[in-house]
Structure 1
Amino acid sequence: MGEHEEDDRSQAFIDENLKRVFQQTIDEDLPDRFKELLEKLRRQEDAKSDDVPKINSDPQ
């Protein structure tokens, strides 16, 4: 086996393992604390948008 083939196999092995680890990370659930923070931010944004006067874009 040539050095080039061994390098290719090593690179393929690294690539496969990196893809597997990243996929596992993507598949993990978001921690509850982050979900709570996101919900809090959404409520704050909703409250802000309720305070902003709506502009009627329907020209008459």
Structure 2
Amino acid sequence: MTSKQDDGRRAAVEKQIDENLRRVYEQDVTEQVPDRFLDLLKKLREQE
């Protein structure tokens, strides 16, 4: 059986994990695709 203190700690850790995942996802969404990847995609499309 877990104590209320353990439940509070678990909730705090889960909240921190959620916040960190949101932060990383938001960074990925706002970053542009590097030119070298765009060039690679262009070359791959040309091969088709």
TM (norm. structure 1) is 0.61
Residue number among 16, 31, 36 corresponding to 1:33 in the alignment: 36
- Greater than 6 Å deviation, 4+ residue runs: none
CA RMSD of aligned residues (A): 1.6
TM (norm. structure 2) is 0.71
Alignment coverage as a number of residue pairs: 45
Q: Structure 1 stretches of 5 or more lacking a match? A: 46-60
Q: Structure 2 stretches of 5 or more lacking a match? A: none
Secondary structure of 1:30's match? Answer: coil
Aligned mates of 2:42, 2:8 — CA distance in 1: 51
Structure (1 or 2) with the greater helix fraction: 2
Name the structure 2 match of 1:14: 17
Percent identical pairs in the alignment equals 44
